[in-house]
Amino acid sequence: MRIIAIEEHFWSRDFAEAFAGPRAERSPELMRRLEDVAELRLGDMDAAGIDLQVISHAPPGGQRLKPETAVSACRSVNDALAAIVTTAPDRFAGFATLPQIRPEQAADELQRCVEELGFCGGMVFGITDGRFLDEPVFWPIHERAARLGVPLYLHPSMPHPQVRDLYYGTYAESHPALTGAAWGFGVETGTLGIRMVLSGVFEAYPDLQVILGHLGEGITFQLARIDEALSRPGNRPSDFAATFRRNVHLTTSGFFSDSALRLCLDEMGADRILFAVDWPFVSNTEGTDWIRAFPTDPDTRARILSGNAERLLGL
At 194-215, the pLDDT tens digits run: 999 999 999 999 999 999 999 9
Q: How far is CA 37 from each of CA 4, 10, 42, 50, 92, rounded to the nearest angstrom?
A: 17, 8, 8, 15, 10
Q: What is the pLDDT of residues 219-244, one digit of tens each?
A: 999 999 999 999 999 999 999 999 99
Residues 6+ apart with CB under 8 A from 260: 215, 221
- Tell me the domain boundaries of the chain: 4-313
The CATH superfamily of 4-313 is: Metal-dependent hydrolases (3.20.20.140)
Checking if the pLDDT of 26 tops 80, the result is no
Tell me the one-letter amino acid at 200: G
Contact, 241 vs 227, CB < 8 A? yes
The stretch 183-196 carries a mean pLDDT of 95
Q: What is the pLDDT of residues 62-90, one digit of tens each?
A: 887 888 899 999 999 999 999 999 999 99
Whole-angstrom distance, CA of residue 307 vs CA of residue 315: 9
Active-site residue list: 278
Q: Label residues 295-310 b or e (16+ Cβ within 10 Å = b).
A: ebeeebbebbbbbbbe
The stretch 20-30 carries a mean pLDDT of 69
When pLDDT is cut at 50, 70 and 90, the band that residue 35 belongs to is confident
Tell me, what's the pLDDT at 22? Answer: 54
Q: What is the pLDDT of residues 248-300, one digit of tens each?
A: 999 999 999 999 999 999 999 999 999 999 999 999 999 999 999 999 999 99
Helix (H) or strand (E) holding 243: helix 240-247
Contact, 147 vs 208, CB < 8 A? no
When pLDDT is cut at 50, 70 and 90, the band that residue 20 belongs to is low
Contact, 254 vs 213, CB < 8 A? yes
Q: What is the pLDDT of residues 120-162, one digit of tens each?
A: 999 998 889 889 999 999 999 999 999 999 999 999 988 888 9
